[in-house]
Amino acid sequence: MRRFLFFFLLAGTMYAQTDWSKPFPPHKIAGNIYFVGSEQLATFLIVTPQGNILINSDFEATVPVIRAAVEKLGFKFSDTKILLGSHAHGDHMEGDALLKEYTGAQVMAMEQDLPALRAMRPGGKEHPIDKVLKNGDKVSLGGTTLTAHLTPGHTKGCTTWSTQTTEAGRTLDVVIVCSVGVNAGVALVNNPGYPEIVEDYRKSFAKLRTMKADVFLGAHGSFYGMAEKYALLEKGGANPFIDSTALGAYVDRMEQAFNTNLSNQQQGKGTGKAKGK
């Protein structure tokens, strides 16, 4: 277990060195859902009449980027009432303590990720966890409800979020995928810290295939072609983020990469990184 947690902390340090906190233009995705993250790290703002929900605080270094993005869209950072996360890696939840310090938001996290989160202590700060979530739990604020779906593999508590929003009178199903990629160096074969990792990945692929998404989003913009879709958004016309085929295509791509990675490891060819992280 210690080696497993150490990998998460080490991975966060390596990711930070790639300058993943570079700002990206904040923008409306659909309905009351907005992008307020960086070029590489996806953070989503969900606006309600009773305050706002944020998904992913990213690195501590990204928190000021998120704050600036929220304010550029005309919203108050202090109106953040709930902070959710996708999974216990530093590039997605390291900033929880700082963001809570700024906003007072209630921090919620999936129970299976608690050990990794509690070991995530940037600057020695204790990782805040105000509410522990279980698979299927619902988080509601101001008329918006999100459902937490446990999709483990990438981490034990990897959490995919689903909700609905309304755009031009149409109700849209929105799915924000945690990740089903395999990071470099992660053992799928003979992993003592996570012996059920392959079974968990396969369950998550199957679960995601049952989910309906008019709007597919993910913990990294690259999962759903953020930069390309934003460029189209700027040109006007139909909303490029509304695409009911995008989630299925992502799952197909990632499952194929997973199977290739697993086969290579079973043949003693080492570990690899699935495209799209």
CA torsion sign, 150 to 155 to 157 to 160? negative
Q: Assign residue 16 a region: left if phi > 0, alpha if psi is -120 to 50, beta otherwise?
A: alpha
- What's the pLDDT at 19? 80
Domain boundaries, the chain: 2-266
Distance, CA of 262 to CA of 32 (rounded, Å): 39
Q: With pLDDT > 70 as the criterion, what percentage of the chain qualifies?
A: 91
Distances (CA, A) of 261 to 69, 156, 173, 272: 37, 19, 31, 6
CA-wise closest residue to 115 among 84, 159, 149, 156? 156
Express each pLDDT in 77-120 by its tens digit. Answer: 999 999 999 999 999 999 999 999 999 999 999 999 999 999 99
pTM, two decimals, is 0.91
Distance, CA of 35 to CA of 24 (rounded, Å): 9
Question: Residue 159: CA atoms inside 13 Å, Cβ hemisphere, count?
Answer: 30
CA torsion sign, 38 to 41 to 45 to 46? positive
Say which DSSP state 172 is in.
E
Coil, strand or helix at 97: helix
Express each pLDDT in 12-50 by its tens digit. Answer: 444 443 589 999 999 999 999 999 999 999 999 999 999
Domain topology for 2-266: Metallo-beta-lactamase; Chain A (3.60.15)
What is the mean pLDDT of the segment spanning 110-133? 97
Express each pLDDT in 175-224 by its tens digit. Answer: 999 999 999 999 999 999 999 999 999 999 999 999 999 999 999 999 99
